[in-house]
Amino acid sequence: MRLSNYFLPTLKETPKEAEIVSHRLMLRAGMIKQQAAGSYSWLPFGYKVLRKVQTIIEQEQNRAGALELLMPTLQSADLWRESGRYDDYGKEMLRIKDRQDRDLLYGPTNEEMICDIFRASVKSYKDLPLNLYHIQWKFRDEIRPRFGTMRSREFLMKDAYNFDLDKEGAVASYNKMFVAYLRTFYRLGIPAIPMRAATGPIGGDLSHEFIVLADTGESEVFCHSDMLDKEIPSIDVDYDSDLSDIVADWTSHFAATEDVTSKEEFEKNVPSDKRILARGIEVGQLFYFGDKYSKPMGANVTNAQGKEIAVHMGSHGIGLTRIVPAIIEAHHDENGIVWPVPVAPFEVILINLRKGDDACDATCDDLYRQLKASNIDVLYDDRDVGAGAKFANADLIGIPYQIVIGPRGIKSGEAELKNRKTSERENIKISEIVLHTKNLIEPQRLDKV
RNA sequence: CGGGGUAUAGCUCAGCUUGGUAGAGCACUGGUUUUGGGAACCAGGGGUCGCAUGUUCGAAUCCUGCUGCCCCGACCA
C-alpha cells in the first residue's frame, strides 16, 4: 500500500480524553475514532489489525474443532424470557421495540440463541460433541465505558458454545478451548495466564480467565511466577487426544483473580520469592455451566439408553476489540507502538527519504514491487514530507521493520534496515534487502509453530 | 447511579475573574527555499465560543436550565 493513497490520519498531539497508553496510541496512530461514549469507528489501519486478530482466533478455533457460524445482533425478547434472563439482566442490556411494538434487544451475549439453534436440529447423543462459535458485535450499556476500545459499550467478541452429553464430555470440550486459548494468545503476542475466576451472571462452576499482566489492568491478580515460563502447546497438538495433562500442568500453580481469592490465601500458598501481585487485563474467559440454559430452554438429546436429557454446555469468549489495546499495552515504547509481526497491520514500511529524486523513486518503486511479490505486507511511505516526519511517523505506527532509502545509501548501493523493537539499524545491499527481510519476518509469523 | 471536572478552529489550548466586534501553536491551501529524526519564510482559508433561556445598549465572559465528554467509586469481556 502506498501511503499517499492510504487513509492514515495520525495525530502529533494526544487528544485529551485518552488516559491510558493504548488508547492514546490508537488515536494517534489513526486506528480508531470515537463516535460516542464507548463507541468507536475502526479506521483502515486499526481495522487491519482487528482482522488479523480475528483470523488468528478463527484458525485456532477451527483447529480445535469448533465450527464458525453467525447469529444476528438483534434478538427477540421471547428467547430471553425462556431462560429468565430478560428480567434478570438489568439495565446493561439495551432494549428496543420494533414498529410492531415487539420487544427486541441488542445481544449482550448469545446463550439463548445458540440453544434455540441447537434444539431445533440436534436430537441424538450421536451428534455430540458439538462446538459452535461466532464472532459478532455485541452491546452492553456499561455505566461507565472507558479506556477506549478496552472497555467500550459496543464490542466485537468471539463466543464458542459447546454441547456435550455429560459433564465429563463438557470438561473435555472445555480443555480443548483451554489449549486453543493458550495457542491463540501466544500467536497474538500477549502471553495470557489462565487464572481461576468467578463465574458471574452467566453462572456455572468451572471457569478460567485469561489474563494479560499490565499496570493498566482493571483487576488485581495473584499468580505464581512459574506460570510465566510454561510451554505453549505446539501446532501439532492432537485435539482428539486427552488434553487433561496439559490443562492440569497449566493449572497446577496458584493463579487467581481478586474475585476468588485474597492476599492472605495467596501468601499462604506461594513462597514470597515466587509471588507476582499485579494488575491484569482479562482477554478471554472459559465457562462450564452445565444445563443452566439447556434445561429451561429444552435443549435436550436422547442418550444411548433412550432417555431424554438436557445437554451440558459451556461458553468461551474472547474480546477482540479489547485484545488490540491489550497488545499495545504489552508492546510499545516512548515513541509509539511496536507491533508483533503476527498482528502487525503491515510487516515492513518502505521509507523513501527523497521523494522526487529519480534514483530514490526508482529504487523504492522496484523494492515495493519485489516486497509485494515476496508476499510481504508492505506500506510504502512515498509522501513528499521531511525525513524527520517520516521517521517519527514510522515509529509511532509501529511497523516491525523499516527499510530506509535515501540518496546517501543509494550512492553505496545500500539500504538501512531498522528493527522497530530493538532500534538496531544495519546497512544491507539493496539487491539483498528483500530476501534478508523476508527471512527475518517469516519465522515471526508464528503460523507454523 | 453517587462525587468531581470540562465544553472556544481538525488537534492542544489562551481569552472569562473585571461584559465592548474571537486568539496562539500545530494541522490545512498557494508560493519560495530546504531535505538522514516531526524544517524556514511569505501569503491565505477555517469558529452560530456545546444548546436554550434570562440580565444588559452590548454576552465566549454574568444568571438559570439542559446536553455531550472526561476522571474517581460501584458495575463489567
The grid cell for A383 is: 509522501
Range A213-223 average pLDDT:
88
Q: What is the DSSP string of A201-261?
A: GG--SEEEEEEEE-TT-SEEEEEEGGGGGPPPPPTT--TTS--HHHHHHHTSS-EEETTT-
ipTM confidence: 0.93
| pLDDT averaged over every residue in chain A | 94
B34: residue with closest CA to C1'? A386
Does at least one atom of strand B sit less than 7 Å from the CB of A208?
no
CA A420 to C1' B32 (Å) is 36
Question: Is strand B less than 7 A from the beta carbon of A321?
Answer: yes
* pLDDT bucket at A202, cuts 50 / 70 / 90: low
Q: Say if residue A204's pLDDT is above 70.
A: no
Give yes or no for CB of A54 within 7 Å of strand B: no
What Å distances lie between residue A247 and A68, A78, A162, A175, CA to CA? 24, 38, 18, 7
Distance (Å) from CA A38 to C1' B63? 34
The pLDDT of residue A205 is 66
Contact A288, A170 (CB under 8 A): yes
Query: Residues of A from 419 to 438 whose C-beta is within 7 A of strand B: which are they?
Result: 425
Chain B bases near protein Cβ (<7 Å): 1-2, 11-13, 25-27, 34-39, 68-77
| Average pLDDT rounded to a whole number, residues A250-259 | 91
Q: Which nucleotide is nearest to A408 (CA to C1')?
A: B36
pLDDT(A318) > 70: yes
The residue with greater pLDDT, A258 or A121, is A121
The DSSP output letter for A114 is: H
Q: How far is the CA of A358 from the C1' of B35 (A)?
A: 15
Give the pLDDT of residue A159. Answer: 97
Does residue A32 approach strand B to less than 7 Å at its CB?
A: no
Q: Residue A364: its pLDDT value, please?
A: 97
Q: Kindly determine whether the C-beta of residue A395 is less than 7 Å away from any atom of nucleic acid strand B.
A: yes
Asked whether the predicted pLDDT for residue A18 surpasses 80, the reply is yes
Partners of residue A222 on adjacent β-strands? A256, A277
Residue A353 approaches strand B within 7 Å at CB = yes
Q: How far is the CA of A12 from the C1' of B27 (A)?
A: 9
Whether the per-residue pLDDT at A70 is higher than 70: the answer is yes
Distance A11 CA to B8 C1' (A): 21
Tell me, what's the pLDDT at A271? 94
With a cut of 90, say whether residue A143 has pLDDT above it. no
Per the structure, the residues numbered 87 to 116 in protein chain A that have their CB within 7 angstroms of any atom of strand B are 92
- A438 versus A144: the higher-pLDDT residue is A438
pLDDT at residue A128 is higher than 60: yes
pLDDT of residue A218: 83
pTM, whole model, 2 decimals? 0.96
- Mean pLDDT across A3-13: 93
Residue A364: strand pairing partners: none
**Beta carbon of A282 within 7 Å of strand B?**
yes
The pLDDT > 70 percentage for chain A reads 98
**Averaged pLDDT, A339-367:** 97
The stretch A26-52 carries a mean pLDDT of 95
Spatial neighbors of A53 by CB under 8 A, at least 6 apart, are A188, A320, A323, A324, A327, A343
The predicted model gives A314-327 an average pLDDT of 96
Does residue A278 surpass a pLDDT of 70?
A: yes
Higher local confidence (pLDDT), A262 or A179: A179
Cβ neighbors of A411 (< 8 A, separation 6 or more) are none
pLDDT tens for each residue of A375-395: 999 999 999 999 999 999 999
The three state secondary structure string of A142-201 is CCCCECHHHECCEEEEEEEEEEECCHHHHHHHHHHHHHHHHHHHHHHCCCCEEEECCCHH
